Amino acid sequence: MLLRSGIGGPAVGTTLRLHPASLVSGIYDEPQDPWYGPAMAGVMNEFADADSGYGFLIEAVQHFPGLFSSIVPWLGGAAHKELAVQYRNRVDWVALVKDRGVGAVTIDENGEAVHTYPFDDELDRKHLREGLVAAIRMQEAAGANQIYVAGQRFAPWQRGEDLDAYIERVNAIPIGPGGTPVFSAHQMCSAPLGADPATSVAKPSGELHDTRGVWIADASGMPTCSGVNPMITTMALARRTATNMLAANA
Ligand SMILES: Cc1cc2nc3c(=O)[nH]c(=O)nc-3n(C[C@H](O)[C@H](O)[C@H](O)COP(=O)(O)OP(=O)(O)OC[C@H]3O[C@@H](n4cnc5c(N)ncnc54)[C@H](O)[C@@H]3O)c2cc1C
């Protein structure tokens, strides 16, 4: 909306952050009923600050068959079906990166939003790989009998096989289209709050630098990514901006 309206200044859309993420699945002897329970039941944050404030989380997520069947390795129709029917005994963990790199939001000739995210920051790519490996080792330690990562084109690791050799194969998969898919549920920072109109879109209060009466109150206003699931942070930012709007109009 800012780009279409030609307001917000030069920083609009230049610092999109996404918490790039991917998945590791484990198959257990006992039913796990992954469709049941809270959306986000557990988080491992030991490596959240692995490198100068950046790192990764491992999150235990509730999930449904349609979307999550898409990461079952494709080894042919029968093999896919065999793995897919193990869904009840499956646990998926998300490796989620607190990104230092940025993407962009622009508009096309019709004024429609166009998002790009090169995922070319070496630290972020290292953290995604480390996150996948940590999740693989956690699945093995928790007792999984089979493990596979999103995008793998070879048979799952089976208990009894060499785990380090499997991890080596996983690390050889390229990140991105055709390899390990990278997804995002956390779009942030594309209209950040800040003091400098060259690098931010709105003042710390939330009101645009260049347009009175237009306020940023959503996840786009975060100056950097939250590094955790951003719902609560977004609600806090919205409340903060709303309080500032009220004060400005008092
Ligand atoms: C699958 C998924 C799972 C998630 N799980 C979690 C979780 O477990 N925990 C957590 O903390 N966060 C989670 N998140 C992230 C969280 O939902 C978002 O960070 C949060 O909703 C962002 O809030 P927002 O107000 O910035 O944007 P939104 O909630 O997306 O609100 C934007 C609103 O603007 C409206 N809108 C868009 N364009 C226009 C327009 N042109 N005119 C008028 N209205 C418009 C949209 O309809 C929408 O209602 C998840 C996100 C996804 C996608």
pLDDT in tens, the chain (250 residues): 999 999 999 999 999 999 999 999 999 999 999 998 888 889 999 999 999 999 999 999 888 887 778 888 889 999 999 998 999 999 999 999 999 999 999 999 999 999 999 999 999 999 999 999 999 999 999 999 999 999 999 999 999 999 999 999 999 999 998 899 999 999 999 999 999 999 999 999 999 999 999 999 999 999 999 999 999 999 999 999 999 999 998 8
Instruction: Give residue 238 CA to ligand 1 midpoint distance, Å.
Output: 12
218, 222, 237, 239, best to mutate for ligand 1 pocket (most atoms within 8 Å of CB): 218
Check residue 245 and give its pLDDT. 97
Instruction: Give residue 225 CA to ligand 1 midpoint distance, Å.
Output: 15
Instruction: Give residue 222 CA to ligand 1 midpoint distance, Å.
Output: 14
In whole angstroms, give the CA distance from residue 165 to residue 81: 26
Helices (H), 143-188: 163-171
Check residue 68 and give its pLDDT. 78
Closest CA to 135 of 176, 178, 104, 180: 180
| Residue 102: CB atoms within 10 Å | 19
Check residue 250 and give its pLDDT. 82
For residue 39, the ligand 1 atom closest to its alpha carbon is: 8
Check residue 66 and give its pLDDT. 79
Is ligand 1 within 6 A of the CB of residue 113?
A: no
Is ligand 1 within 6 A of the CB of residue 2?
A: no
Check residue 188 and give its pLDDT. 98
Atom 34, ligand 1: residue with shortest CA distance: 218
Instruction: Give residue 66 CA to ligand 1 midpoint distance, Å.
Output: 21
Is ligand 1 within 6 A of the CB of residue 185?
A: yes
Atom 52, ligand 1: residue with shortest CA distance: 185
94, 186, 237, best to mutate for ligand 1 pocket (most atoms within 8 Å of CB): 186
CA 51: distance to chain centroid? 18
For residue 230, the ligand 1 atom closest to its alpha carbon is: 11
Check residue 69 and give its pLDDT. 82
Q: Quote the strand ranges of 13-65, DSSP E.
A: 21-27, 40-44, 56-61
CA 60: distance to chain centroid? 13
For residue 233, the ligand 1 atom closest to its alpha carbon is: 11
Is ligand 1 within 6 A of the CB of residue 40?
A: yes
Instruction: Give residue 190 CA to ligand 1 midpoint distance, Å.
Output: 14
